[in-house]
Homo-oligomer: A and B are copies of this chain.
Amino acid sequence: WSQAVENTAMDNVATERRAEESHRQDSADLLIFIMLLTLTILTIWLFKHRRFRFLHETGLAMIYGLLVGVILRFGVHVPRNTNNVTMSCSVNASPATLLVNVSGRFYEYTLKGEVSTVKGPEVQDDEMLRKVTFDPEVFFNILLPPIIFYAGYSLKRRHFFRNLGSILAYAFMGTVISCFVIGLVMYGCVSLMKTVGQLGGDFFFTDCLLFGAIVSATDPITVLAIFNELKVDVDLYALMFGESVLNDAVAIVLSSSIGAYQPAGDNSHTFDATALIKSFGVFLGVFSGSFALGVATGVMTFTKLRDFPLLETALFFLMSWSTFLLAEACEMTGVVAVLFCGMTQAHYTYNNLSPDSQNRTKQLFELLNFLAENFIFSYMGLTLFTFQSHVFNPMFIIGSFISIFLGRAANIYPLSFLLNLGRKNKIGSNFQHVMMFAGLRGAMTFALSIRDTATYARRMMFSTTLLIVFLTVWVCGGGTTPVLSFMSIRVGVDSDQDNSVNALDGIQRRDTEHERAWPFRMWYNFDHTYLKPLLTHSGPPLTATLPACCGHLAHCLTSPQAYENEGRLHNDDSDDLVLNDGNATMYEDVTVSTDALGTRTANPKHSRMPAFGEHELVVRGTCLVMQLDDPTMSTPPPATSPPPFSDPFVDPFSEPRRNRL
């Protein structure tokens, strides 16, 4: 018995040692990535410092990833770990959990996945390479959500809403067009490969369509960063950013509905109308479900936590995350839910946050986005060499480059033509060329393609996708500045300058008014009159906007702070007054009386002091804002004039913009 105890103890020690060793190795592997990121950050700083623009940080991260991948692949030789000897044991199923009986003691094993039959027993050869390979789900569930959320949260909503129709057209119809064009071209290419004998496995039409969906998610982050720096035309920026944000959502839902396309019966991989309709139903259901979920969470108001910014920030963060998880748990798409959650939170919830929390959330998500993005891109570089089952097929690669070019062209040019029929502010051909050129592929495409690399077709798609991302990021990213100047796109545009000119020029202003479509105007009015007051406390109180018959209801639904807004208006304590210039539509960029950091609320002492002097007029969009620090100007404004509230379409990330006359 003593011998048995001894053995058990020795066994325990051995197991512990092994666990320790494995943990040590894990830490070292993670350290590689941290070092990669650190290196990237330092180089980015160098580039920013010296104002290099030909290579974006993500391109850089990829290059470093590539270098480390090469080193790991060819330079490092980990001595074979004899403890890890793999053994075969024949059972007749592959359960998720396996219990192994080793001389009377039970060990639990969990299924990791299928191993390619060809490699079979020599799977442990590449221990080191396998160690640096993450579970693909990590990208989807951990790294992608902050990126997508940040995109939604930092969307410049003013310009986004101004171009909403076009953006929706590009994002929905365009992505679907692009997906089918790419799918068809690739099907042709694959058929050709099959006749030539270049194809080493199955490649069905659904696979082609899936490839189309995967590479239809554009991610012009590199281009947009340059746009931002050069202050390129805001409409072009809005079109491209809006499209890229939304087409990620479309592509992800599209790919999952193509996955759901399972023809009934045994005539597999042929056309089946029922399955197609089902797929379409899945697309609509998942998209609208995720949308609803995201909006529902985004709309939540937390009115009374303002005094504790830490709690508020934590709650905000948790709410966003729970949206993602909830969507995933309901078999919807978390990424889409998070996108709309971010957009709604920026539109409503942001107004309810304390200034400190506004700042904190912004900085937190900025950091998360930065880290996640650079991590994904450096992992992409790494995986080109460390991924074990690449299938590079020259014909497929050439075919895919042709197809994505055709797909992008079939998206941009016809849609732009159709949109220009309805738009006052035409999308010029130079804009179209730039949009065509800026069809980069990025993190979303990568995450979608690495998610499943089980079959031959999927592996070939993954390898090709990697090359597409590399080339588009380096070539298109690096070529942005020359292309902009070649296409003679205006740079150095100050969006506000632009606006105030519009506002002062009567003819131009009428133009912009007509430009707005009536659904947008209706939405804006509805949002401003009912949703904003209901969901935030920055609007006018509901009691003022709802008809008198709903007085009691309105009273219940209005937050005390909204009354404060009204009260403050009548008290006239050194606050902003919005003087309407007779034009009550106000759907443009109205007033930013609090700046981005919300100094108004931040300085309660200051506002109580009677301040003299400073009496300024601010022109924003179509209306005038008069800033009063003068107690003599204390006549109450007419009851119909809107009280101060923060601009629904001003993005929370811009500097306080105030044009002094």
Given contacts A107-B115, A113-B108, contact A102 B94 (CB under 8 A): yes
Within 70-125 of A, Cβ neighbours of B (below 8 Å) are at 83-117, 120-121, 123-124
Which of the 9-residue segments A153-161, A189-197, A304-312 touches chain B?
A304-312
Q: Which residue of B lies closest to A315 (CB)?
A: B41
Within 356-404 of A, Cβ neighbours of B (below 8 Å) are at 360, 363-364, 366-367, 370-371
Candidate in A41, A104, A370, A454 with the most chain B CB atoms within 10 angstroms: A41
Flag whether A585 is at the interface (Cβ < 8 A): no
Tell me if A114 and B106 are in contact (CB < 8 A): yes
Tell me if A115 and B108 are in contact (CB < 8 A): yes
Known: A28-B325, A34-B325. 20 other contacts (CB 8 A): A5-B268, A9-B268, A12-B455, A15-B94, A16-B452, A27-B325, A27-B328, A45-B304, A45-B305, A45-B308, A49-B307, A86-B97, A90-B102, A92-B103, A94-B100, A94-B102, A94-B105, A97-B124, A99-B120, A105-B117
Tell me if A18 and B109 are in contact (CB < 8 A): no
Q: B-facing mask of A307-328, CB < 8 A → 1, else 0? A: 1101101110111011001101
Flag whether A331 is at the interface (Cβ < 8 A): yes
Interface on A for B, CB 8 Å cutoff?
5-6, 9, 12-13, 15-16, 18, 20, 22-24, 27-28, 30-31, 34-35, 37-38, 41-42, 44-45, 48-49, 83-117, 120-121, 123-124, 137, 141, 202, 259, 262, 266, 268, 304-305, 307-308, 310-311, 313-315, 317-319, 321-322, 325-326, 328-329, 331, 334, 360, 363-364, 366-367, 370-371, 452, 454-455
Query: What copy number does this chain have within its complex?
Result: 2
Q: When the two chains form the complex, which single residue of B48, B202, B329 contacts A31, counting CB atoms closer than 8 Å?
A: B329
| Cβ contacts under 8 Å, A120 to chain B | 99, 106
| Cβ contacts under 8 Å, A98 to chain B | 86-87, 89, 98, 100, 109
Q: Which residue of B lies closest to A106 (CB)?
A: B115
A352 to chain B, nearest CB (A): 14
Q: Report the Cα distance A454→B13, complex, angstroms.
A: 11
Tell me if B454 and A314 are in contact (CB < 8 A): no
Tell me if B110 and A97 are in contact (CB < 8 A): no
Given contacts A31-B322, A84-B96, contact A107 B113 (CB under 8 A): yes
Q: Report the Cα distance A238→B154, complex, angstroms.
A: 42
Q: Report the Cα distance A34→B454, complex, angstroms.
A: 32
Q: Which residue of B lies closest to A108 (CB)?
A: B112
Tell me if A111 and B107 are in contact (CB < 8 A): yes
Tell me if A112 and B109 are in contact (CB < 8 A): yes
A491 to chain B, nearest CB (A): 22
Tell me if B96 and A317 are in contact (CB < 8 A): no
Q: Report the Cα distance A305→B117, complex, angstroms.
A: 51
Q: Which residue of B lies closest to A330 (CB)?
A: B24
Q: Report the Cα distance A112→B363, complex, angstroms.
A: 38
Q: Report the Cα distance A322→B33, complex, angstroms.
A: 10
Q: Report the Cα distance A44→B158, complex, angstroms.
A: 37
Given contacts A12-B454, A48-B308, contact A87 B95 (CB under 8 A): yes
Tell me if A322 and B363 are in contact (CB < 8 A): no
A514 to chain B, nearest CB (A): 41
Q: Report the Cα distance A89→B103, complex, angstroms.
A: 11
Q: Report the Cα distance A304→B84, complex, angstroms.
A: 47
Tell me if A108 and B114 are in contact (CB < 8 A): yes
| Cβ contacts under 8 Å, A24 to chain B | 328-329, 331
Q: Report the Cα distance A308→B51, complex, angstroms.
A: 13
| Cβ contacts under 8 Å, A364 to chain B | 363-364, 367
| Cβ contacts under 8 Å, A124 to chain B | 97
A82 to chain B, nearest CB (A): 10
A109 to chain B, nearest CB (A): 4
Tell me if B371 and A262 are in contact (CB < 8 A): no
Q: Report the Cα distance A94→B101, complex, angstroms.
A: 9
Q: Report the Cα distance A266→B42, complex, angstroms.
A: 54
Q: Report the Cα distance A30→B302, complex, angstroms.
A: 23
Q: Report the Cα distance A96→B86, complex, angstroms.
A: 8
| Cβ contacts under 8 Å, A371 to chain B | 314, 317-318
Tell me if A97 and B121 are in contact (CB < 8 A): no
Given contacts A92-B103, A95-B86, contact A38 B322 (CB under 8 A): yes
Q: Report the Cα distance A100→B97, complex, angstroms.
A: 12
Tell me if A91 and B86 are in contact (CB < 8 A): no
Tell me if A27 and B329 are in contact (CB < 8 A): yes
Q: Report the Cα distance A655→B276, complex, angstroms.
A: 63
Given contacts A89-B89, A268-B6, contact A97 B114 (CB under 8 A): no
Smallest CB-CB A-B distances: 7 pairs: A109-B109, A27-B328, A28-B329, A27-B329, A31-B325, A106-B115, A108-B112
Q: Which residue of B lies closest to A262 (CB)?
A: B13
Q: Report the Cα distance A22→B34, complex, angstroms.
A: 30
Q: Report the Cα distance A114→B307, complex, angstroms.
A: 49
Tell me if B9 and A49 are in contact (CB < 8 A): no
Q: Which residue of B lies closest to A331 (CB)?
A: B24
| Cβ contacts under 8 Å, A89 to chain B | 89, 91, 98, 100-101
Q: Report the Cα distance A98→B310, complex, angstroms.
A: 46
